[in-house]
Chain A
């Protein structure tokens, strides 16, 4: 087993357990590479990658770009705000125009769920989904699991709670798929209005009491409230949300064990997580960011090796 079962990374739901294992093992090698004095390998010299971001992103875009450059790929960047999309061009036309400049791989973030799948059926390039609406964000879920594996030894058998705005979160869905595939137990916790109906059908437990959830888990993955995706009010005030679903040092100290705290970023300090927790040793938020580069290098490397 040294090859991915897929030609695109569109979502965790298209991967199998062996794929995740292979990505993690490859990421281990790249993690060593990015800690060398010279952090670059020449593997992808003949590959050109287009980063198409139809939605705002800082961390993911930087992480992908850095991963691509560390592998020596040629990189072109595109943001929807400065492009012909505003002039009425369709997605396929935009991408085909870019591909006609001999691009081998496309990393795309798009506000519409399924945009990556759609693209993969219509264009001749390897597609990596960097977030499609509230659907999936596979590389984030991979780096989250990888960070759990790094901190706790393995993912199998661990109890992970995802706290916050599950309804609008692509990170939550990809994490649920990835964690379950590796044999972890998953719980979601948040106000009822921010938990999708029928989410229990995915095999996760639902809890609305944060303290109970934290007492149950080994790892808490704190999500941001995505105000930009909310057209109506899902909870009375931010202050009330913080009181019910924000974690602070006092709450963590009241637990009878030390749990690991994760956050995919960007953090709203003082809302879902206080600064003393975010900056504590229990939090692996910055490890997640570093692992993000290694994971993305692994995914790009493995997909690129399948381009003929």
Chain B
């Protein structure tokens, strides 16, 4: 097994600020915007972005939700292990809002496909965008691309991208792990 640091804490911090600024550029005061962190890992990124937007850029009343896509996945009964669900907390109205999906790593695009279906259970958003910290290029199974990306990386299927957050892993660091 070999591992390589893709991004260190300083680089993560710079990228988060850039992503926050890109969101402001498009959404200005966020009145018609709902940020949706995709469970389980997108929650941390969403929380971090909201923290930066509200503390550093003084944007108030950002609407945030967490969406679990387990019951919408297309690989039910196809793996060895059953799929474990996480909590969904969408206590905001998404009808006619600009929704931004937030997830840490974009790989095959299947999770995003499931999220696009799942969000419809809560209403019909005006538009949906995708923000992702790591975009694994050339690995997509579906025609899905991010609107905001932190870093684009070239990986092979056997490699794994691991995103660690200070809140639950004790460090802000992103690794590329090769199990071979």
Contact = CB atoms under 8 A, between A and B. Distances in A.
A and B bound?
Answer: yes
Interface of A: 2-3, 26, 28-29, 32-33, 36-44, 46, 71, 301-302, 304-308
Given A2-B81, A2-B82, A26-B85, A42 B72 contact: yes
Nearest to B86: A29
A206 B121 CA distance: 49
A71 B73 CA distance: 13
Given A305-B77, A307-B77, A42 B85 contact: no
Contact of A38 (B70, B88, B120): B120
Contact of A3 (B68, B73, B81, B86): B81
A308 B79 CA distance: 10
B87 interface: yes
A305 B85 CA distance: 13
Interface of A is mostly: loop
Contacts of A26: 85
A29 B73 CA distance: 15
Contact of A29 (B68, B76, B82, B123): B68
Nearest to A304: B77
B87 A29 contact: yes
A238 to B, nearest CB: 46
Contacts of B138: none
Main secondary structure on B side of the interface with A? loop
A2 B122 contact: no
Contacts of B84: 2
A44 B85 CA distance: 15
Contacts, number: 54
Nearest to A305: B82
B71 A42 contact: yes
Contacts of B68: 29
Contacts of A46: 77
A29 B121 contact: no
Interface of B: 68, 70-73, 76-77, 81-88, 117-118, 120-123
A305 B76 contact: yes
A308 B117 CA distance: 25
Contacts of B72: 41-43
Contacts of A71: 71
Nearest to A43: B71
Contacts of B88: 29, 32-33
Nearest to B88: A32
Nearest to B95: A37
Contacts of B70: 29
B116 to A, nearest CB: 12
Contacts of A2: 81-82, 84
Name which of B71, B77, B121 has the most chain A CB atoms within 10 A of its CB.
B71
Nearest to B84: A2
B71 A41 contact: yes
A138 B85 CA distance: 23
- Closest 6 pairs (CB-CB, A-B): A41-B71, A305-B82, A38-B121, A29-B85, A43-B71, A2-B84
Contact of B82 (A3, A28, A33): A3
A36 B71 contact: no
B90 to A, nearest CB: 8
A26 B83 CA distance: 11
23 contacts: A2-B81, A3-B81, A3-B82, A26-B85, A28-B87, A29-B71, A29-B85, A29-B86, A29-B88, A32-B88, A33-B71, A33-B88, A33-B121, A37-B121, A37-B122, A41-B118, A43-B72, A43-B76, A46-B77, A304-B76, A304-B77, A305-B83, A308-B77
Contacts of B86: 29
Given A29-B88, A42-B72, A302 B121 contact: no
Nearest to B94: A37
Given A28-B87, A38-B120, A44-B76, 13 more contacts: A2-B84, A3-B81, A29-B88, A32-B88, A33-B121, A36-B121, A42-B72, A43-B73, A43-B76, A302-B82, A306-B82, A307-B77, A308-B77
A26 B84 CA distance: 8
A41 B70 CA distance: 10
